Amino acid sequence: MSLAEQFPAITQRNQPLAPYTHLKIGGPAQYLVQPRTLEELNAVLAACRQDKLQVRMLGGGFNLLVRDDPLPGVVIRLTAEPFTFLKRSGRRVVAGGGGQLFDLIAFCVRAGLGGLETLIGIRGTVGGSVRCNVGDRTAEISQTVRNVTVLTEAGTVQVRSRDELTFREHASDIDEPVILSVEFELENDLPAAIVKRMRKAWILRKATEPLSFQAGVRLFRNPPGQTAASLIDRAAMTKAKVGAAELSERNSNYVIAHPGSTARDILQLIALVRDKVKQRTGVLLEQELHVW
Ligand SMILES: Cc1cc2nc3c(=O)[nH]c(=O)nc-3n(C[C@H](O)[C@H](O)[C@H](O)COP(=O)(O)OP(=O)(O)OC[C@H]3O[C@@H](n4cnc5c(N)ncnc54)[C@H](O)[C@@H]3O)c2cc1C
């Protein structure tokens, strides 16, 4: 029995992924599954193990490029309440992995809990944001993470404490298939002080990103002590273009997918930029954007 036959209420076959990604690019997934409960998620993963189907987790698609061709296997989105909840206990907040980072930040600000507010404006789910250790030079989400509850390949729920996890710029060593929830430890603070820091961070972030109507994603990690954008500019690749994909004039470390762009255009542009930066500055840029 196929996955669609086993889980008809939550499975879509040959579902285009473009609408679920920020770039609005990407071919169809063999199966797109949106489980309603942990039990259902477990049953889907067990069926995937049995049928040897590759499983991929899709968050908000803000750090993701999906290739143009059909994608074999199963893509899972955690959109139901058991995966998007927010719960507070003193200075600790537990957030479902499928919930929005924005909702988590707003929840903490309202509760007078500081620590996440300077991440305002970074879009994504809690799971995707912790897996990608979002942040900037001033703060990273990992600073407030206390533990991460994951679902392992074998289908068991495990809690990984902060001491067991390794985070680096825009990356973590969390390699289990699913981040179910994350517990954060925050600081009590005056809401007015938190809001002030949040406003400042918002203004700074928005000034260095593509305009809000543009479909743009970040390409490379910043090498220590340098920014990927300045290396790209030094390599004379400002506003470089392949097909309808073009580097942002506001920040060269973002690619803008103009209407008609394909994943192929973006992958070619990434390769071109990386080669030119290596040739002209000697630095090999490390890709931040996840590609399926
Ligand atoms: C305009 C713009 C500005 C940005 N600015 C910043 C910035 O300032 N700082 C910064 O750090 N990032 C920034 N980003 C990158 C992006 O916002 C983050 O990486 C984002 O948090 C990714 O979360 P997501 O839910 O969209 O993950 P996705 O893009 O959907 O997925 C990314 C990876 O996480 C995995 N994943 C997603 N959910 C789960 C889960 N529940 N369990 C296990 N794995 C999962 C996916 O499989 C994939 O490998 C920016 C992006 C854009 C488009």
| 249-285 per-position pLDDT tens digit | 999 999 999 999 999 999 999 999 999 999 999 999 9
Report pLDDT for 211. Answer: 86
The 10s digit of each residue's pLDDT in 170-223 is: 999 999 999 999 999 999 999 999 999 999 999 999 988 888 889 999 999 999
Give yes or no for residue 120 CB within 6 A of ligand 1: no
DSSP annotation string for the chain: --HHHHSTTTEEEEEESGGGSTT----EEEEEE--SSHHHHHHHHHHHHHHT--EEEESSSTTEE--SS-EEEEEEE--SGGGT-EEEETTEEEEETTSBHHHHHHHHHHTTEESSGGGTT--SBHHHHHHTT-B-SS-BGGGGEEEEEEE-TTS-EEEEEGGG--EETTEE---SSEEEEEEEE-EE--HHHHHHHHHHHHHHHHHTS--TTS-EEE-BPPPTTS-HHHHHHHTT-TT-EETTEEE-SS-TTEEEE-TT--HHHHHHHHHHHHHHHHHHHS--PPB-SEE-
Report pLDDT for 212. Answer: 85
pLDDT bracket for residue 1 (50, 70, 90): confident
pTM to 2 decimals? 0.95
Give yes or no for residue 115 CB within 6 A of ligand 1: no
CATH of 82-207, one of 3.40.190.10, 3.40.980.10, 3.30.465.10, 3.30.479.10: 3.30.465.10
Question: Of 7, 59, 2, 5, nearest to 33 (Cα)?
Answer: 7
> 216-291 maps to which CATH number?
3.90.78.10
The 10s digit of each residue's pLDDT in 122-141 is: 999 999 999 999 998 889 99
pLDDT more than 70, % of the chain:
100
Give the phi and the psi of residue 17 in degrees, each rounded to 5. -90, -15
Give yes or no for residue 169 CB within 6 A of ligand 1: no
Fold: same for 3-77 and 82-207: no
Report pLDDT for 126. Answer: 98
Instruction: Read off the tokens for 129.
Output: 């944001």
Letter for the amino acid at 36? R
pLDDT bracket for residue 11 (50, 70, 90): very high
Give the phi and the psi of residue 128 in degrees, each rounded to 5. -65, -40
Residue 154: pLDDT above 90? no
Report pLDDT for 138. Answer: 84
The pLDDT of 154-176, averaged and rounded, is 94
Give yes or no for residue 96 CB within 6 A of ligand 1: no
Is 275 within 8 Å of 285 (Cβ atoms)?
no
Instruction: Read off the tokens for 45.
Output: 């993963």
Residue 27: pLDDT above 90? yes
The pLDDT of 57-85, averaged and rounded, is 97
Report pLDDT for 213. Answer: 87
The pLDDT of 147-159, averaged and rounded, is 94
* CA pair distance 50, 157, nearest whole angstrom: 19
Sign of CA dihedral 219, 222, 223, 228: positive
User: Could you state, in order of their start, the residue ranges of all structural domains in the chain?
Assistant: 3-77, 82-207, 216-291
pLDDT bracket for residue 115 (50, 70, 90): very high
Ligand 1 pocket mutation, candidates 123, 204, 254, criterion most atoms within 8 A of CB: 123
**First-to-last CA distance in the chain?**
26
The pLDDT of 46-68, averaged and rounded, is 96
The mean of the pLDDT values for the chain is 96
CATH of 3-77, one of 3.40.50.2300, 3.40.91.10, 3.30.2010.10, 3.30.43.10: 3.30.43.10
Other residues' Cβ atoms within 10 Å of the Cβ of residue 35: 24
Residue with tokens 């707003």: 106
Other residues' Cβ atoms within 10 Å of the Cβ of residue 221: 18
What separation in Å is there between the alpha carbon of 131 and the centre of ligand 1? 8
Report pLDDT for 274. Answer: 98
What separation in Å is there between the alpha carbon of 279 and the centre of ligand 1? 29
